[in-house]
Chains A and B, each alone.
Chain A
Amino acid sequence: MSCLEFRRAVTIDPRRLDPQARTHAETCVACREFLARSLAFEDRLASALKIPLPPGLSERMARAATVSPGSRRWFALAASLILAVALAAFLAWPRNDPLALAGIDFVVFEESQAIADAKPADAAVLQRVARGMGVALPAQLGEVRYVGTCPFAGTTAYHVLVKSPLGKVTLLLIPDRPLASRVAASARGLEAAVVPALGGSVAIIGGTARGIVRAETLLKTG
């Protein structure tokens, strides 16, 4: 093998030299040095080409490759459907408003004590307050069994207990608590709605949604 042939072989593949080339390198000093420089360059080249890899690349890619696009589409569709159903359920699910829920808690835990402790209010005062709030208290509401004042939601409310044709209904007239829109809650076997009035708001708590709606309608006749 000539030096020219050897050098050509080295520039083609310095790491895979045939026995003839190796023998030539053993006998030719200049070619041996050429080979050494070529191998050093090869090391630099290989090292520079070995760029850092993204973490977890091979595991991630091997796994993803075996999930067919069809399956991926199916999973994506299923995930979208589940998300849509969950969103619809979340939006449709009746959520308890804290103020309305406080009305229910008042009836369950505090009402009887409030009636026992409070000094009954004057019915005439109640009518005046109701008028000031733009709320009617028509006779069709039912038989008013109790009128008093009580602390509620950080302020004072006028507490009215009515025996309506649809069962007992508690009204809490809250002059100092304005409200932007109707809120509701359902808990402990009771229904509650707090409705905005011209001045303040009124909480209506009862055993049935029908009873609440009826009372709400009558209150708005004022």
Chain B
Amino acid sequence: MRMLLERRQAVFGSTVQGHIDDLYRYAYWLCRNRWRAEDLVQETLTRAWRGWADLREARVVKSWLFTILYHEFARDAARPQAEPGAPEELQEPYVNDDPALALDLGRALEGIGEESRHALLLQVLGGFSCAEIAGVLGSTEGAVMTRLSRARQALRRALEPSDFGKEAKDA
């Protein structure tokens, strides 16, 4: 019995481990807080482990995990949050090669609306197709395509205003 459990744990670990980095980044860009991102991923994995026995197709593990995280984020966002301005709610900048771009990107992502943000992050970080994103978000492929198009245009307008202006003129 114990050996069976250990075997199941090992299979689960090796299957989900490859997706945890992307899950964490997805969670981070949704909440912009490292601790909340870790909590979201941990809760996602805990729920995934509980439902592991019912999972029939190994090839859908990735979209399944992202779907759990998407719902977990929605649940978390619906809970009463700490007072605005409380230290744990402050958005944290992170260190990367281009901190100015990171700050602008954070602001731009805030501005594109939640559903568009989900769609874009799922595509860029998760590498999902429009049909898969629609499955995760419980939406239609057409709606996802519209959101992605709008999201990209808004981001380019915010992050590359000169290039975007030129293209708009060309078009």
Asked if B29 and A49 make an inter-chain contact with CB atoms under 8 angstroms apart, the answer reads: yes
The answer, among B8, B50, B124, B129, for a CB contact under 8 Å with A49, is: B124
> Once the chains bind, are A57 and B49 in contact (CB under 8 Å)?
no
Q: How far is the CA of A53 from the CA of B26 in the complex (A)?
A: 12
* A62 pairs with B45, CB closer than 8 A: yes
A13–B17 CB distance below 8 A? no
A53 with B24: CB separation less than 8 A: yes
Distance A34 CA – B163 CA, assembled complex (angstroms): 10
Is the beta-carbon distance between A57 and B20 smaller than 8 angstroms? yes
Residue among A30, A37, A42, A46 facing the most chain B CB atoms (10 A cut-off):
A37
A155 contacts the other chain (Cβ, under 8 Å)? no
Task: Tell me if A's interface is mostly helix, strand, loop or mixed.
Answer: helix
CB neighbours (8 Å) of A3 from chain B are 171
CA distance A58 to B18 in the complex (A): 8
Q: State in angstroms the CA–CA spacing of A44 and B104 once bound together.
A: 12
- Residues in A with CB closer than 8 Å to B42 are 61, 64-65
Any chain A CB within 8 A of the CB of B152? yes
B interface, size bucket: 35 or more
Contacts A12-B130, A16-B129 hold; do A49 and B13 have CB atoms under 8 A apart?
Answer: no
- 0/1 interface trace, chain B 140-165, chain A, CB 8 Å (1 if under): 00000100110011011001100100
Residues of B contacting A13 in the complex (Cβ-Cβ under 8 angstroms): 123, 129-130, 148
Q: In the complex, how many angstroms separate the beta carbon of B111 from the nearest chain A beta carbon? A: 15
Contacting residues, chain A, for B34 (C-beta < 8 A): 54
What mask results when residues 89 to 119 of chain B are scored 1 for a CB within 8 Å of chain A, else 0? Answer: 0000011111001100100000000000000
**Which of A37, A46, A47, A58 is the one whose CB lies under 8 Å from B167?**
A37
**Are A48's CB and B98's CB within 8 A?**
yes
Which A residues, 1 to 15, have Cβ-Cβ distances below 8 Å to chain B? 3-4, 7-8, 11-13
CA distance A8 to B150 in the complex (A): 10
Q: Contact check, B105 vs A49: say whether CB atoms are below 8 A apart.
A: yes
Closest to B102 in A: A48
User: Would A54 and B101 be within 8 Å (CB), given that A12-B145, A45-B124, A62-B12 are in contact?
Assistant: no
In the complex, are the beta carbons of A65 and B48 less than 8 A apart?
yes
Q: Which residue of chain B is the closest to A16 with respect to CB atoms?
A: B129
A41: Cβ under 8 A from any B Cβ = yes
Contact of B148 among A12, A50, A63, A66 (CB under 8 A): A12
Cβ contact of A45, chosen from B12, B13, B21, B155, cutoff 8 A = B155
Which listed residue, A16, A38, A48, touches B105 by the CB 8 Å rule? Answer: A48
Are B156 and A41 in contact (CB-based, < 8 A)?
A: yes
Residues of A within 8 A of B20 (CB): 57-58, 61-62
| Interchain residue pairs with CB less than 8 A apart (7) | A48-B96, A53-B24, A57-B20, A61-B45, A62-B45, A65-B45, A66-B13
